[in-house]
Structure 1
Amino acid sequence: MNKYSVDKLPRDIRIEIAHKHRKLRKQRGLSQTELAERSGVSLGSLKRFETKGQVSLESLLKLVFVLGRLSDFESILKPDENLKHIEKLFDSKRKS
């Protein structure tokens, strides 16, 4: 966390996701080698992810697919339900 803010930084979230992933993998009874083989992600990439939180989005999605949690990602970056504020932006541009 930033020492001047209570908001988490991207690296904080990245490490949290890596720790959660590792815990889930262990709960499923999978070794890193087994998960790497099943997912098609290299063992080195998996180890780097679980220790440093660094992984490509494609590899992350492959890993969570094997763990049965791909649906967790379906709600990420979902647009706001209330689009009236966006409609106002376009209406004001048309009047100009």
Structure 2
Amino acid sequence: MKRRRIEHGLTQRELASRSNVSYGSLRLFEETGKISLESVVKIAFALEAEAEFERLFPGRPPQDINDVIDRPLKQRVRKK
């Protein structure tokens, strides 16, 4: 995140203002990596990095033809 902030030419205070995350939280994040999920999402949007979150939970590759057929995604799992 720090590298991306610098690539965008932003100071910590500027990024804090743009992302609506406190300067202290942003500074602590750069120093320790500790921050709330909500704040990291705000920072990601401010740095135009929101698409990076898609890599956290990649889709499973198809296992058989039923995985490829166009059908609605399950909304929940029911235990039998």
Shared fold by TM > 0.5?
Answer: yes
Gaps of 5+ in 2: 65-79
Identity %: 40
Pairing partner for 1:74 from 54, 57, 60: 54
Name the Cα RMSD after superposition.
2.0
TM-score by length of 1: 0.61
**2:7 is aligned with 1:24:** no
SS at match of 2:55: coil
Structure 1 residue 83: Cα displacement: 5.0
Gaps of 5+ in 1: 1-20, 85-93
Pairing partner for 2:27 from 47, 61, 65: 47
- Counting matched residue pairs gives 66
Pairing partner for 2:38 from 32, 35, 58: 58
Return the structure number with greater helix share. Answer: 1
